[in-house]
Amino acid sequence: MRQLAACGWKLIFTLIVLAGIGGPVMQAAVQKAIFGTMPDGEKIDIYTLQDGPYKAQVITYGARLVSLEVPDRDGKVADIVLGYSSLGPYLQDKKTYFGAVVGRYANRIAAGTFVLDGKRYQLPQNENGNTLHGGTLGFDQRVWTAHQVPGGVELKLVSKNGDQGFPGTLTTRVRYTLKQNVLSLDYTATTDADTVLNLTNHSYFNLAGEGNGTILGDILTIPAHTYTPVNKSLIPTGELAPVAGTPFDFLKPAAVGKRINEPNEQLEIAKGYDENFVLPQQSQKGVLQEAARVYEPRSGRVMVVKTTQPGVQFYSGNFLDGTIHGKHGHVYPKHAGLCLETQHFPDSPNHPNFPTTELEPGQTFHQTTDWVFSTEK
């Protein structure tokens, strides 16, 4: 009996030791390499995060997600984000924002102007008289500093006072971490003066694999009862309109292409879907909630987007037109990928009824977005 008891304790001790050894192994492996060189000679690094069959690659130019490999229902792995194989096309492409962290203010600000603390600020007007994704030299075109963290990489950017017209020196950190089937983005920011900000990631997803057809057959669910309609310049009117009875009702799963060509002013303005959806429980700061679910029937891949942000911009790749040659020479036609940009609302500084995007000294902006992957038969 004593020998049996001793063997039992040895077994327990061995299991504890193995558990201790196995813990760190469960973190994603992270590797660093050179992705390319800027015109001024500055090196752009690429960080590869891998955990089992899941692999993500992030570069320091624009803090971009440039590759995301995910298995299908048969275990076959494919890269599901649109982009390029080298740095040069990213430097030349000023329109798509493939995979980038965009800011200082993601989405649009009407007429490139807002009032804060009684002072009016003017920003570059880089789209139809409005400011889009931070202006002519947004965060997507900056070189971020980076360092490895457990299971991932953290990138940092300091945007000085007056950068693109915004007040305050803003220090932004974005952390990508991979744990099995979940890729997490954690955003933090601080400022030395009152400012506004809105940060998101602008990845285009095609769950069938980038360059493999369109996303019109994807089955989409968005748990939003209202959305923010826009005018002809894609600026919110300020209304929170119900999705019921419109092509924007994704409370029940529906194919992206099912209603995309219906006669609807909002769809006609954007040439497809490009709308901010108001997520439930937006008052519960810091609580991860489901923002969207996408199921791709051919591959069986499922992506669930969870976020602490109050909104999600669903964009159906309307302005891709077949002129872009992406990875491996793949041509990206209209609707070759979809974006689900977790965010605060567009033009919030000019709409007091929208959740505030103001940040003051002593405060820390903190938002999290998770992309969770699985398969269905």
Which domains are seen in the chain, by residue range?
Answer: 30-375 (2.70.98.10)
Report yes or no: 125 and 111 within 8 Å, Cβ to Cβ: yes
State how far the Cα of 149 lies from the Cα of 179, in Å rounded to an integer.
13
User: Of the listed 335, 341, 344, 351, which one is catalytic?
Assistant: 341
State how far the Cα of 344 lies from the Cα of 326, in Å rounded to an integer.
29
How would you class 136 by CB atoms within 10 Å of its CB: exposed for 0-12, middle for 13-18, buried for 19 or more? middle
Tokens (6 digits) for 275: 């709308």
State how far the Cα of 53 lies from the Cα of 313, in Å rounded to an integer.
29
State how far the Cα of 165 lies from the Cα of 231, in Å rounded to an integer.
24
**Residue whose token pair is 């076959």:** 76
Q: Is 202 a catalytic residue?
A: yes
Report yes or no: 260 and 268 within 8 Å, Cβ to Cβ: no
List, as one string, the DSSP characters of 213-244.
Answer: S-STT-EEE---SEEE-B-TTS-B-S--EE-T
Q: Collect the ranges in the chain with pLDDT lower than 70.
A: 1-25, 282-285
State how far the Cα of 38 lies from the Cα of 143, in Å rounded to an integer.
9
3-state DSSP assignment of residue 52: coil
3-state DSSP assignment of residue 325: strand
Tokens (6 digits) for 140: 């997507």
- The per-residue pLDDT for 4 is 31
- The per-residue pLDDT for 284 is 57
- The per-residue pLDDT for 26 is 72
Amino acid at 51: D
Using the Cα atoms of residue 106, residue 111, residue 113 and residue 115 in order, give the sign of their dihedral: negative
State how far the Cα of 110 lies from the Cα of 295, in Å rounded to an integer.
34
Report yes or no: 161 and 168 within 8 Å, Cβ to Cβ: yes
Tokens (6 digits) for 328: 């491996």
- The per-residue pLDDT for 286 is 75
Q: To the nearest 5 percent, what fractions of the chain are helix, strand and coil?
A: 15, 40, 45
Tokens (6 digits) for 283: 């008052």
User: Of the listed 202, 335, 344, 351, which one is catalytic?
Assistant: 202
Tokens (6 digits) for 173: 């950190």
Q: Is 360 a catalytic residue?
A: no
State how far the Cα of 256 lies from the Cα of 258, in Å rounded to an integer.
6
- The per-residue pLDDT for 23 is 43
